[in-house]
């Protein structure tokens, strides 16, 4: 039970509405609760179940997690939702988040010249939107680096088809997430000894993130 409880009638009303599959009614009740009591963990978790949009669900779950950051149940629910978001974007399970950054430099994949295909670039950038949101929303440094790395990869692929479009997108929609990712890498590097074998790879990742905000590929 959350520290701040709603009046005893409203949460049961919302639960009953959900059981009757009256989602709009439940959503209205729960929104009124979180407006009055923004620290109500239970209301945020129930509110997440009223949205079809996965990003809205994630926002609600992240708010609940702020109330109870040590909850294994909430952490598991968030991880499952991330898997659904990834599957919706790519049609395959989300790869496991690495336990530690790779020690070897992550070299960009070699590219061959391609004719401009704006529609393919836009599809990749639409997928990158999910990682922009995930990078900005997460409070975990390891997740920031994992989501940021995937974001950079998608931008690089989009540049292969339309460099100018990808550059503009990176400097507008993607900029905040790229900045956060770059800062996360910088902070990690600051706390590592120079002789650590991971340093070169992390520096290369940071340079790739920084390059996305500078100029389009020639």
Per-residue pLDDT reduced to its tens digit, 128-164: 888 888 888 888 888 888 888 888 888 888 888 888 8
Q: Is the pLDDT of residue 5 over 60?
A: no
Per-residue pLDDT reduced to its tens digit, 170-193: 889 888 888 888 888 888 878 777
- The H-or-E segment that residue 90 falls in is helix 72-90
Instruction: Say what the pLDDT of residue 213 is.
Output: 52
pLDDT band at 19 (very low <50, low <70, confident <90, very high): very high
Q: Is the pLDDT of residue 10 over 60?
A: yes
How much is the pTM? 0.46
Handedness of CA 37, 39, 45, 51 (dihedral sign): positive
Give the mean pLDDT of 106-121: 57
Give the residue extent of every domain in the chain.
10-90, 118-211
CATH assignment of 10-90? 1.25.40.10
Residues 6+ apart with CB under 8 A from 32: 10
Per-residue pLDDT reduced to its tens digit, 37-71: 888 899 999 999 898 888 788 888 888 888 888 88
Q: Which of 211, 69, 218 is nearest to 140 (CA)?
A: 69
Contact 161, 118 (CB under 8 A): yes
């Amino acid at each position: 039970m959350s520290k701040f409880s709603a009046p005893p009638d409203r949460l049961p009303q919302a639960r009953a509405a959900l059981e009757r599959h009256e989602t709009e009614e439940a959503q209205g009740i729960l929104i009124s609760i979180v407006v009055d009591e923004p620290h109500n963990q239970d209301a945020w978790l129930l509110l997440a179940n009223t949205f079809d949009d996965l990003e809205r669900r994630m926002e609600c779950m992240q708010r609940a997690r702020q109330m109870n950051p040590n909850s294994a149940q909430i952490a598991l629910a968030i991880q499952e939702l991330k898997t659904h978001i990834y599957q919706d974007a790519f049609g395959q399970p989300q790869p496991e988040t690495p336990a530690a950054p790779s020690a070897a430099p992550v070299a960009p994949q070699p590219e061959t010249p391609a004719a401009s295909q704006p529609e393919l670039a836009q599809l990749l950038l639409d997928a990158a939107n999910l990682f922009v949101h995930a990078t900005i929303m997460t409070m975990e440094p390891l997740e920031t680096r994992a989501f940021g790395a995937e974001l950079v990869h998608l931008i690089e692929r989009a540049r292969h088809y339309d460099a100018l479009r990808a550059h503009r997108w990176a400097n507008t929609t993607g900029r905040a997430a790229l900045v956060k990712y770059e800062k996360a890498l910088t902070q990690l590097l600051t706390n590592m000894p120079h002789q650590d074998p991971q340093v070169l790879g992390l520096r290369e990742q940071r340079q790739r993130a920084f390059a996305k905000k500078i100029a389009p590929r020639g």
